[in-house]
Structure 1
Amino acid sequence: MAFRGFDATGLTALANQLDALSQNSGKLHSQLATVLTTAQQNLPPGQSASRDPDLQGLVGDVIPMPSIFGGRRRLPGSLGGELGDMQTSMKRRIKQLEGLQELEKRGDPVSDGSVFLDEKAPDAKKIDDALRDLQGLQGKDFGTNGNRDDLEKVSGELDGMTAAELDALMTKASPKDLAFYSQLISDTGDSAWNPFDDNGLPEDRRRATLSLMLSKISPENVGKFQAAFPGMQPTFTNTGAYESGGNNQNGQTNNGIHWAPPSDPLFQDGVSADDVSQNQFGDCWYVASLAGLAQKDPKFIQDGIKQNPNGTVSVRVWDKDGNYQWVTMTADLPTDQNGNPISTYGNGETWPAYYEKAFAMVYSDDGDDERGYGGIEGDDPKKSAPYLTGKEGEDLESGGFLGIGKHDDKNIDSLKKAFDSGKVVTVSTPDDEKLDKDHPAEWGNTYHSNHAYYVRGFTDDGKIILGNPWGVHGYPPITVTQEQFNKYFQGPEAFDVP
């Protein structure tokens, strides 16, 4: 009987046929090699038995050797591995389909998207156990040691579930069960009467579990997830752009900020620093670092972001201990009433916006609990480096990599040494609004006080080329002499590219 349009019995028969063909490929290899070898021996010198390089390679290969000895790399011998891999994949998918069919027979919800997943067959017992333990948190006496051990048990069960299992659990769990779990894992405070108990889950552990859940559930359950775990959406109501209606530095304004899905793809033509445009949130210190990293190692940036089958996006972010995890978020982004992006965006692509959104979800300055986009406004470029690469940033003025002894040394040649060594280099401008009018005219509106820039390169005559994270479209790079750098810039910093 077909299940959601797929005939598991027919597919199994096809897989078995492929298996039989793969086992016969060695015999076919020998037969064809014999024919070609005989033909080659009877041809005049200089002529080939075949013009196809794969077939010509079979000449003399009458007894095919396994691939581990360097053999069967050519057709048809290579079909043994290719057809074998194909039928193995098919049989795995068939088992998963049959498992979904069994779930549906017992009354469990199965989304249409689950039939296309390449994963293990769902285990009904895992769904039942996790749901029982999740519901059992309501009214439970956690004892004198707090609730962390109970929450870690549930978290471990969730982490070990397939996408189909998680989606069934999300559908069966009540909003009340999920909200209570969210409340418990977020509260890490000690009980007033017992300061030595352990409650909630540490932030990295909590985020890892929720990110994994969000990346796997079906689109139909994403709204339910968001309602239960509101902390997985960073707020923008604490930003200057929301409170003041725009960015007072670059002059961009807005009306009606809200969440909306973008129409542009994750990537359009790869990764480039020229894709990065800061827009309206005041996090130039992070965006300058992001643009500098995109310039130095675009592949590293591209490898650090992925779109999941359910439409969510995951970004690789490091924590303070140097460990990375994939932070998952919904695809919607801060947008104004006219559909224009408010957050950092690309030139027809969205990867910069999701890097910024992930950062807004995880960043917290020491001693400051403010989160969201407002929490990443106004800080030091070197503080973004550990989240982007897992490596600490460093001040170049105070020595560090360059071994400079003078704190006020801003020699462009020294910055060039750091840049040429492969580091991302950023600089800042003084918090002095008089400089917004008193700067070289050729810089136009690219220069602004109290702002961060990234180094794009150097000229042959010793000048430094700086990029504005507001984007090259409208804010072209500026070329700065040593004398100008001393007056208009400060705080050179750098971090290593992995």
Structure 2
Amino acid sequence: MKGRRSDAGEGSLSYIAVVLLIAGIAGAVTLSGVGATVVGDIRAAVCKVGDDDCETEPRVFANNPPSEQEWGNRPTDPGQPPPAPTDDERKTGKEAADRIRDYLGSACAWWRVWKWGCDGTRAPRDLLAGMSPGEIQALFDELSDAEIRRLLREPGVVDVLKLRADAWLLHQLERIAPGSIEPNFTEVYEDEKSDNPATAWGSVPNARLWGNGGQPSLEDLNQGGLGDCWWLAGMGALAQTPEGRERLRNMIRQNPNGTYTVTFPDGERVTVTPYFPINKDGNLSFANPEGQPPTIWPLVLEKALAQKEGGYEEIVGGDPGNGMETLTGHDSESEDADDVSREDLQNWLRNGKAVTVSTKDEGDVDGKPIYKNRLHANHAYVVKGITQDGKVELYNPWGYDHATLTMEEFNQYLSGVDISSFE
């Protein structure tokens, strides 16, 4: 049953009062750094209070890479700068720079994704989503470093740039505004000494995403200096199975600009640039590519998880079963190693399961020599197969120091076994 409608004058006054109140809240929220999502929720509430559908100009923002026609003959090699913008691109870039300055200097920047009182001004992410790579390059040529840093903090701007801008430009923007484009690596070595600390971002010359036959392979793994054996072992275990290889391939999309979009089973999409942490000598600090030409899908997935979790330091240490769950979207089965038989392993492998194992902490093992000579403590391995004489082949995600164990050694020196599920 509908109630009596309020007097028109009373409704208008109430609505204006609410709008003014919300405007103050929105300004405080924005200045405090909480972000545009909260502001958007507030705006939706005001629309309901005012019995107004708040119709605005339809958004053009979409996380889509440029078409082949838009990309043209631009290089995708991250070590090669893009061509200089054309005169038409410079004209469009300058116009866009002026519009962005107007936006950042107006109340629109306070209201961010709101469009009230902005005289049709489009949010920067919407403007960028309709620009070609050359026009985007010309736009940033017009902006000062301070303007660039402010623009990169606007909602959705970096997401659009990672899909539509040249990789070379993204690399320059990270130098101007560290942490705006790339996940953090600076805290990985804070609590320990290492000969391989990351100091900068570098590309992999002549890199290819997949190895021979366009497929991921266990032999592509080379862990490097980051303690994420659990994550690489999970990748390697999937690469051992037909369904796992299909899952890995479907997770990664290479974009025309040379970036990679990784879609996790939970639905989250993460786009990463083709630059990876390097040390002072210019060598890769974390996962390293294998093969010639170098195969980089493990580097891409490592970086994508680091970005998803909030930095490389957040993926140091973990359980390979959790790694496989992140990759498949399904729970993994865990077993104590001393309860597993050779027949169990053979059945899992025969049925296309991905299988990893974990070693014990060195202090928990009586027969320490096997750790010094053939296994590494507190480490994750991939179960590669069973030899003809019944031994278990373990693949080390380091890319070397693999191990072959008898079942007695398997039961004694390993702590756990994780088995993937694809359904």
TM-score, normalised to structure 1's length? 0.56
Query: Are 1:238 and 2:187 an aligned pair?
Result: yes
- Give 1:343 deviation, angstroms: 0.8
Distance (whole Å) between structure 1 residues aligned to residue 365 and residue 345 of structure 2: 23
Is contact 1:422–1:497 with CA below 8 Å preserved after alignment? no
Between the aligned residues of both structures, percent identity stands at: 26
Which residue does 1:259 correspond to in 2? 201
What letter is aligned with 2:285? I
Cα deviations by residue, 1:395-418 (Å, 9 ceiling, x for unpaired): 3339xxxxxxxx984344334433
Is contact 1:465–1:478 with CA below 8 Å preserved after alignment? yes
Match of 2:381 among 449, 453, 461: 453
Match of 2:398 among 454, 458, 470: 470
Query: Are 1:414 and 2:344 an aligned pair?
Result: yes
- Give 1:379 deviation, angstroms: 1.4
- Give 1:456 deviation, angstroms: 1.0
User: 5+ unaligned residues in a row in structure 1: which ranges?
Assistant: 1-91, 98-110, 116-120, 186-205, 247-252, 364-370, 399-406
Which residue does 1:343 correspond to in 2? 286
What letter is aligned with 1:345? N
Which residue does 1:327 correspond to in 2? 271
Cα 1:317–1:470, aligned 2, differ >3 Å: closer, same or farther? same
Which residue does 1:20 correspond to in 2? none
Which residue does 1:294 correspond to in 2? 239
Distance (whole Å) between structure 1 residues aligned to residue 198 and residue 71 of structure 2: 45
Match of 1:381 among 311, 315, 320: 320
Cα 1:159–1:433, aligned 2, differ >3 Å: closer, same or farther? farther
Is contact 1:431–1:450 with CA below 8 Å preserved after alignment? yes
Which residue does 1:140 correspond to in 2? 107
- Give 1:357 deviation, angstroms: 1.8
Distance (whole Å) between structure 2 residues aligned to residue 353 and residue 300 of structure 1: 16
Cα 1:129–1:152, aligned 2, differ >3 Å: closer, same or farther? closer
Distance (whole Å) between structure 2 residues aligned to residue 324 and residue 341 of structure 1: 27
Which residue does 2:10 correspond to in 1? none
Cα 1:283–1:219, aligned 2, differ >3 Å: closer, same or farther? closer
Deviates more, 1:458-467 or 1:350-359: 458-467
- Give 1:280 deviation, angstroms: 1.2
Which residue does 2:4 correspond to in 1? none
Is contact 1:135–1:177 with CA below 8 Å preserved after alignment? no
Which residue does 1:221 correspond to in 2? 169
What letter is aligned with 1:277? N
Distance (whole Å) between structure 2 residues aligned to residue 161 and residue 446 of structure 1: 56
Is contact 2:103–2:123 with CA below 8 Å preserved after alignment? no
Is contact 1:130–1:157 with CA below 8 Å preserved after alignment? no
Query: Are 1:180 and 2:150 an aligned pair?
Result: yes
Q: Give me the CA root mean square deviation.
A: 4.0
What letter is aligned with 1:466? L
- Give 1:235 deviation, angstroms: 2.5
SS at match of 1:112: coil
What letter is aligned with 2:103? G
Match of 1:484 among 378, 401, 409: 409
Query: Are 1:357 and 2:299 an aligned pair?
Result: no
Is contact 1:182–1:229 with CA below 8 Å preserved after alignment? no
Distance (whole Å) between structure 2 residues aligned to residue 354 and residue 377 of structure 1: 16
Cα 1:468–1:178, aligned 2, differ >3 Å: closer, same or farther? same
SS at match of 2:158: helix
What letter is aligned with 2:332? E
Which residue does 1:168 correspond to in 2? 138
Which residue does 2:44 correspond to in 1? none
User: 5+ unaligned residues in a row in structure 2: which ranges?
Assistant: 1-67, 73-81, 116-120
Distance (whole Å) between structure 2 residues aligned to residue 167 and residue 356 of structure 1: 28
TM-score, normalised to structure 2's length? 0.64
Cα 1:244–1:462, aligned 2, differ >3 Å: closer, same or farther? same
What letter is aligned with 2:134? A
- Computing the radius of gyration from Cα coordinates, the structure with the larger value is 1
Is contact 1:465–1:479 with CA below 8 Å preserved after alignment? yes
Match of 2:228 among 280, 283, 292: 283
Distance (whole Å) between structure 1 residues aligned to residue 71 and residue 411 of structure 2: 65
What letter is aligned with 2:348? A
Cα 1:129–1:458, aligned 2, differ >3 Å: closer, same or farther? same
